[in-house]
Structure 1
């Protein structure tokens, strides 16, 4: 039997969604029927402002293979699914002569892209994937990167325009032309043989007179910029065009993202105080632009990027970025491959992804972020069966703690010893080889202050708060380790709180100039007695016999008068523009934020995460460039976080063990859960 479609076409009365061939990477394309195309609504050469009614969205299927050498033309639609309310409100389209109810936001996107802007052959996830068929969904998601990379264009639908004055998309174009009138023409030749974005030759005075800031901010506050799937949808696109509301023309995404990059870099100086949602839009758009220039990434990098985005299904915090991985990593025979399986528990997905990132890079570097991706406080009674070492991608927001070595250089605590993983282990267990260094016997209170850019940050007062917290922590540590001279201990304390790097990520271990500036800056903001008979102590790891208890017993009479730094009038010092003091406080605020200072059994001073406890141990795990803190449990170890101990950051401890022919004896397996 057969039925007549809206235009007289004959359709077989089979199921609307016939099975796809995953081995050919087959997908469905929606083809707008001839009678519904844009030329029906052209009057005197002008497109009618009133869009067609919902009943006029009539399509037919076309099936194409992404594995073919030449893939037929189609455009892919990128949009925001919206919340539960938008999904609950159904709208009807006709496909192959059958009515199909789809979410409101998908219907709006199809109406705008197909009817208003003339894209007649499109792919859209809510319709072209049978959402009720889990097996099909898993297969389609596994090659979603191909869907968007092989599309002729990606059409971004921002939704209807909520700005009250100038159209939001138009305001970005106006702002861009105000900033640099030549840029739109330069962007017509993508990349131009370079991976760098065209520079903006901007005169700040031009921006101060611009009146469309509310409309600009409303665009970047759009929900689309927070959706994790848009990362690869746009990063892989040959060309990405943006549409919104009734704005008559498309704006290239590269223009939108370039403006966002400029605004994000100057977000603290912008007029009209953009809301946090707009600043997030700036950052995420800039991130996508970077990935458009560098499309092939390792999973570890992508997992860190996606954390500032959101997904309705927590599985998609991993699955949404797989198309941006190196192709070799996602081949069927790759041991690093992550296979989308929505039926798997989220904990399994995140553990597998974290372990795949570790095995792909042959590095434990991603563990520096494991504690950062955890909540400040877990709700009482909330189950926590997530492995302590796995990234919690289901948590929203930015890192509340900076990883050790988070910028432009690496430490080398493991002395280049390669990662050794226990083979064929459980996905929820990370068993690695390393050495136990020391045991923590005392821990400070957590050092907290507001960072620049925090919504409630007041800038100057927060610097004073940080200075007071650092003073209090210094006093506590000086009390515990009195044998050091005041200057020696102030140098070590400032280096430890800064985690060996300044606020820009420059290493303070390379040469003496910057380390000296850090110390003198910290010293200049404090009033410290300089008389002390206590000599500088040897590093706590220079011998096996050194301990904090023996060091305390060697303290001189004068040490009791030099153990505390009294904060001077910071207002006077810093207001006088003391660059070294500013340099030191910035570095220590960046490195020490939401961390604790701890003291070990051998008398070392360290910087750990906010959850460090007495009895935890400092370890060097092979494949990890920084030391880590573990907590002993009955039959396994609990991962606490990364840490900084000045004396062991560049392989000193491993070299000492080697020199003493004790490295093989010291090696052990750590079963971390």
Structure 2
């Protein structure tokens, strides 16, 4: 690290004033003002391991205040805060006058600076703000500063979050968050942090002391969580690396960071489908974001890159490459800014396609695991990216197959691992070198060819007892009943990908009566809307097991756990009659395979001598290493699959 710059090397901006164009016109004349704006601010070159800091001088007011900008070695910098905010509209149309020079800033930052003047920051005078302290037009400087983000945020006194202007009635959220925080505490084991109970049913949720869904506090909280800050990818490190709890400012109101995180964790874990916020498409993503912040804080740093990318897939970035670069400072792949793997180093000369491809390959090769491929849970928009390369800009459209639990990497860092599925018997991925960077060659086993899959299971159909499950059951009964001695249980488990219901209980442990109750309810709904009831009765009644009058089951207890089926298709293989649940994009004549390093079987699509990656799947009888056992017994021949 270099020493602190000398006074001659220091960027001394002197007195700055944030002024409106009207102020400038009055004092200097319109021509002078426009000349200053067009000239712009000229940044001096930063020395190695240095940062710029902004100081808001005493005596400033929200409408006009004094500032100075100065460079320091990061190891000898004075006390400073970091500001986390959204740029908002990218147009930088607000002039910050700087000793005869102008720095243009966005309207959102102008509002944030005005609020900082009235915010009590103790004896901390300096603040780091990316838009001002980094020369955004200098690509090399930007790359260097991005690689230093961990140090910049971790060495600050803490992060100040600016969420935007006031929200009317925001005070009403204090009681709501306090109540959810108490429920979070009561439902969590003090020993290991695990949940003491399963997901709340709607009746159980309504029996809590939380306000009813119509209460205005839910609406206000939803409006708050709809602010864009919560889903911007850069804010993850900005919040998590803060040495103290971030100070969250919404207008003149200050929120309780700890209670907001705990409430979100409780909603995600235990009231996924019952909280009023789960129906709000703008607010609910923020709940997931805050749950991630909660996990990062509880588990500590550093996470492996695959875990970070998987957890942050829902976040947004103006520059797609920042979906990766914004997380590097939190990863365990590097110990400091001078020790970052090439694939993860900020390089804005590379296209986002190259960045995503190289990062996906790096993670597979370094981890010897295919877990990163489980993020391909979307319908690809184009073929610009290789099918095996994760498009980190895509929104995941359906849930993952495996249940993620927290463990420790051999290095000691937190890592999420897939359980309990182990289709490849925990064998490491076999990656063979390829002639092209766009080809990924993996070793594994070809299991069978996919027959015509059933219709895609839609959330609206499953939640309203629509008929698609019944037609899928009919197909399973016709094609696979000779393979499965207990076909109803196989189907019940497969349709929900054998999801965990609690920390220790899975769908396979549930009684069949709830599944049959669900199918009978679907059958009755179909009868009610059918114009030919007799035909429906003749087709479906013989394949439904009579309900036990003493224990008829509860259809809602099965419906509550159908998340894994959303946007997936039941399918059967042509030769071995395997029963499975696969991605909505799968087609007849795709292949079912088990690739080494994968927790679940995978669907690939042949294309000449190559294959396209389609997605993960759940296959009854293949989730516990059965294919690997058969391979070792000589029933399969291992081969390499060239993915494009």
Task: Compute the TM-score of the two structures, normalised by the length of structure 1.
Answer: 0.74
Paired with 2:404 and 2:333, the residues of 1 have a C-alpha distance of 26
Whether 1:612 and 2:609 are equivalent positions in the alignment is no
Correspondence 1:180-259 to 2 at 5 A: 204-205=208-209, 207=211, 212-239=217-244, 240-247=246-253, 250-259=254-263
Correspondence 1:78-93 to 2 at 5 A: 78-83=84-89, 87-88=90-91, 90-93=93-96
| 1:100–1:58 Cα change, 3 Å | farther
Paired with 2:583 and 2:145, the residues of 1 have a C-alpha distance of 40
SS in 1 for 2:313: helix
Whether 1:344 and 2:344 are equivalent positions in the alignment is no
| 1:415–1:579 Cα change, 3 Å | same
Paired with 1:273 and 1:659, the residues of 2 have a C-alpha distance of 48
| 1:229–1:651 Cα change, 3 Å | same
| 1:611–1:504 Cα change, 3 Å | farther
Structure 1 residue 222, shift from structure 2 partner: 1.6
Whether 1:402 and 2:376 are equivalent positions in the alignment is no
Please name the residue that 2:440 is paired with: 430
| 1:180–1:564 Cα change, 3 Å | closer
Give the conservation status (yes or no) of the 8 Å contact 1:328–1:334: yes
Please name the residue that 1:445 is paired with: 455
Please name the residue that 1:464 is paired with: 465
Paired with 1:82 and 1:302, the residues of 2 have a C-alpha distance of 25
Residues paired across the two proteins, number: 566
SS in 2 for 1:363: coil
Paired with 2:558 and 2:305, the residues of 1 have a C-alpha distance of 35
Paired with 1:139 and 1:522, the residues of 2 have a C-alpha distance of 56
| 1:62–1:417 Cα change, 3 Å | same
SS in 1 for 2:143: helix
Measured against aligned partners, the alpha-carbon deviations of 1:202-261 in whole angstroms (never above 9, x if no partner) come to: 9943746976444333222222112111111001101211122234xx444223323444
SS in 2 for 1:242: strand
Give the conservation status (yes or no) of the 8 Å contact 2:62–2:117: no
Whether 1:287 and 2:292 are equivalent positions in the alignment is yes
Please name the residue that 1:112 is paired with: 115
Gaps of 5+ in 2: 1-7, 18-38, 185-189, 197-204, 406-418, 521-536
Whether 1:18 and 2:44 are equivalent positions in the alignment is yes
| 1:246–1:482 Cα change, 3 Å | closer
Whether 1:387 and 2:413 are equivalent positions in the alignment is no
Measured against aligned partners, the alpha-carbon deviations of 1:384-403 in whole angstroms (never above 9, x if no partner) come to: 2111112222124xx32222
Structure 1 residue 636, shift from structure 2 partner: 1.5
Paired with 2:126 and 2:591, the residues of 1 have a C-alpha distance of 60
Paired with 1:520 and 1:315, the residues of 2 have a C-alpha distance of 49
Measured against aligned partners, the alpha-carbon deviations of 1:187-207 in whole angstroms (never above 9, x if no partner) come to: xxxxxx9996999xx994374
Correspondence 1:350-365 to 2 at 5 A: 350-365=356-371
Paired with 2:606 and 2:239, the residues of 1 have a C-alpha distance of 45
SS in 2 for 1:349: helix
Structure 1 residue 151, shift from structure 2 partner: 0.9
* Residue number among 84, 92, 100 corresponding to 2:103 in the alignment: 100
Whether 1:522 and 2:522 are equivalent positions in the alignment is no
| 1:623–1:112 Cα change, 3 Å | same
Please name the residue that 2:36 is paired with: none
Please name the residue that 2:54 is paired with: 30
Measured against aligned partners, the alpha-carbon deviations of 1:314-336 in whole angstroms (never above 9, x if no partner) come to: 22222221111115377656657
Please name the residue that 2:21 is paired with: none
Please name the residue that 1:558 is paired with: none
Give the conservation status (yes or no) of the 8 Å contact 1:92–1:101: yes
Please name the residue that 1:627 is paired with: 601
Paired with 2:404 and 2:96, the residues of 1 have a C-alpha distance of 50
Give the conservation status (yes or no) of the 8 Å contact 1:630–1:637: yes
Paired with 2:322 and 2:248, the residues of 1 have a C-alpha distance of 23
Please name the residue that 1:480 is paired with: 479
Task: Compute the TM-score of the two structures, normalised by the length of structure 2.
Answer: 0.77
Give the conservation status (yes or no) of the 8 Å contact 1:525–1:581: yes
Give the conservation status (yes or no) of the 8 Å contact 2:453–2:572: yes
Paired with 1:415 and 1:426, the residues of 2 have a C-alpha distance of 29
Structure 1 residue 146, shift from structure 2 partner: 1.9
| 1:96–1:267 Cα change, 3 Å | farther
SS in 1 for 2:403: coil
Please name the residue that 1:547 is paired with: none
Structure 1 residue 145, shift from structure 2 partner: 2.2
Give the conservation status (yes or no) of the 8 Å contact 1:421–1:432: yes
Structure 1 residue 28, shift from structure 2 partner: 0.6
| 1:18–1:565 Cα change, 3 Å | farther
Paired with 2:195 and 2:475, the residues of 1 have a C-alpha distance of 51
Of 475-484 and 316-325, deviating more is 475-484
Whether 1:309 and 2:315 are equivalent positions in the alignment is yes
Paired with 1:595 and 1:504, the residues of 2 have a C-alpha distance of 25
Paired with 2:97 and 2:183, the residues of 1 have a C-alpha distance of 44
| 1:331–1:363 Cα change, 3 Å | farther
| 1:14–1:627 Cα change, 3 Å | closer
Structure 1 residue 432, shift from structure 2 partner: 1.2
Give the conservation status (yes or no) of the 8 Å contact 2:177–2:263: yes
Give the conservation status (yes or no) of the 8 Å contact 1:236–1:295: no
Of 221-230 and 420-429, deviating more is 420-429
